[in-house]
């Protein structure tokens, strides 16, 4: 499994106020989308999230988002290594993801940029 990088997940109270700071810090524009009632802005290596507190409580349990070349391969490697697959793989607006709990209890999201095959 090839790991391409990691994204830091940050829950913020006010996404609109937070975005300009992170855009200056990362030197780029935010890519915005919504998922499950949570507003999200991806800025460089930062993933800013804002929304209902009950949704954010769930998201805070995931330590980081790890980009990989292939989520299916990540699923195989993680499972073989003793990780528990909590959710996925499932399609997302930009590829596929899964959530895994490592044997030490840490929880991570793994994502790829592959579009799911459609019949």
Mean pLDDT by 10 residues, the chain (119 residues): 91 95 96 88 94 89 93 96 94 88 95 67
pTM for the full predicted model: 0.79
Other residues' Cβ atoms within 10 Å of the Cβ of residue 49? 20
Write the burial class of residue 43 (CB in 10 Å: 0-12 exposed, 13-18 middle, 19+ buried). Answer: buried
pLDDT at 119: 41
β 107-112/64-68 pair status: parallel
N- to C-terminal Cα distance for the chain?
A: 27
pLDDT at 92: 81
User: How many degrees, rounded to 5, is the angle at CA 51 between CA 47 and CA 56?
Assistant: 70
Tokens of 81: 């290594």
Among residues 8, 12, 5, 117, the alpha carbon closest in space to that of 56 is found at 12
What is the rounded CA–CA span in Å between residue 110 and residue 97? 5
Kindly list the structural domains of the chain, giving each domain's residue range(s) and its CATH number in brackets, ordered by start.
Answer: 3-112 (3.10.180.10)
């Amino acid at each position: 499994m090839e790991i391409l990088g990691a994204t830091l997940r940050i829950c913020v109270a006010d996404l609109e106020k937070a975005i300009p700071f992170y855009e200056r810090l990362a030197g780029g524009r935010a890519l915005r989308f919504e998922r499950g009632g949570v507003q999200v802005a991806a800025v460089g290596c930062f993933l800013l999230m804002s929304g209902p507190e009950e949704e954010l409580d769930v998201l805070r349990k995931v330590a980081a988002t790890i980009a990989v070349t292939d989520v299916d391969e990540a699923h195989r490697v993680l499972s073989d290594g003793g990780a528990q697959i909590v959710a996925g793989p499932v399609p997302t607006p930009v590829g596929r993801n899964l959530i895994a709990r490592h044997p030490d209890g840490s929880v991570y999201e793994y994502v790829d940029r592959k579009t799911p095959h459609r019949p």
